Amino acid sequence: RLLLIMLVIMLVILPVWDPIYLVHMQRHLVLPLLLLPCISSFGINHEFTAMLFPLIISSVGLLVCFLTTLFATDFFEIKLVKEIEPALKKQLVISTVLMTVGIAIVSWIALPSTFTIFNFGEQKVVKNWQLFLCVSVGLWAGLIIGFVTEYYTSNAYSPVQDVADSCRTGAATNVIFGLALGYKSVIIPIFAIAISIFVSFSFAAMYGVA
């Protein structure tokens, strides 16, 4: 029943509230992910709940988003402008932690303990905890990327302050410094994405990456 409620929220309530949401979600995310389990042991054994695992994960994410907004509106009410940025940080961490717990629960309930998927014509045996790690590693990589992006783009930290200070000596130094800083800012995100792809592919092939 809980899984059904999550699917109703994602596929009925939210599209009515924002019709564009359904189009983009189904076209870019949900539909490709729903095709992969059909040729795995999920489809062969007619395990409908396991086939809907991508939809359930998205539904859990929506519920976590709703819960996380309460921390900014009710639990940690923002009264000053300077409190906005710390509140956003708290929301990122809280949502990531809650989502990790939600993924663990869904992986344990919706997925069989062991199943097979097709990896370029060959069958690969995958366990439910491995698929949980595939989702979690991407989730935490996203959190790391978010913090790194904030560090390199917020005027509260030294990178942006140094770029502004470089304007004192002219536009040329500003452009050079800004370009170098831009190259530097993507190092950690690239490693985070690469590690998450490697771990996910090792555990569950392309389905894990997706």
**DSSP string of 164-192, one letter each residue:** HHHGGG-HHHHHHHHHHHHHHHTHHHHHH
What pLDDT, on a 0 to 100 scale, did the predictor assign at position 15?
Answer: 47
Distance CA 209, CA 198 (A): 8
Q: What pLDDT sits at residue 175?
A: 87
Cα-Cα-Cα-Cα dihedral sign, residues 47, 25, 143, 192: positive
Q: What is the pTM of this model?
A: 0.74
Query: Residue 173's pLDDT is what?
Result: 86
CB atoms within 10 A of CB 39: 12
Phi-psi region of 111 (alpha: psi -120 to 50; beta: other; left: phi over 0): beta
DSSP string over 53-109: HHHHHHHHHHHHHHHHHHIIIIIT---SGGGHHHHHHHHHHHHHHHHHHHHHHHHHH
Residues belonging to the chain = 210
The confidence score (pLDDT) of residue 63 equals 87
Q: Which sequence spans correspond to the domains of the chain?
A: 1-112, 127-210
Q: What does the pLDDT profile of the chain (210 residues) look like in tens digits?
A: 554 455 455 544 444 444 454 555 555 555 555 555 555 555 555 566 677 788 888 888 888 888 888 877 777 777 777 777 788 888 889 999 999 999 999 888 888 888 777 776 677 788 888 889 999 999 999 999 999 998 998 888 888 888 888 888 888 888 888 888 889 999 999 999 999 999 988 888 888 887
SS3 130: helix
Whole-number pLDDT of residue 16: 46
d(CA 52, CA 41): 13
Integer Cα distance of 105 and 162 in angstroms: 45
Question: What's the confidence (pLDDT) of residue 101?
Answer: 94
Query: Residue 27, class by beta-carbon neighbours within 10 Å (0-12 exposed, 13-18 middle, 19+ buried)?
Result: exposed
For position 89, what pLDDT does the model report?
85
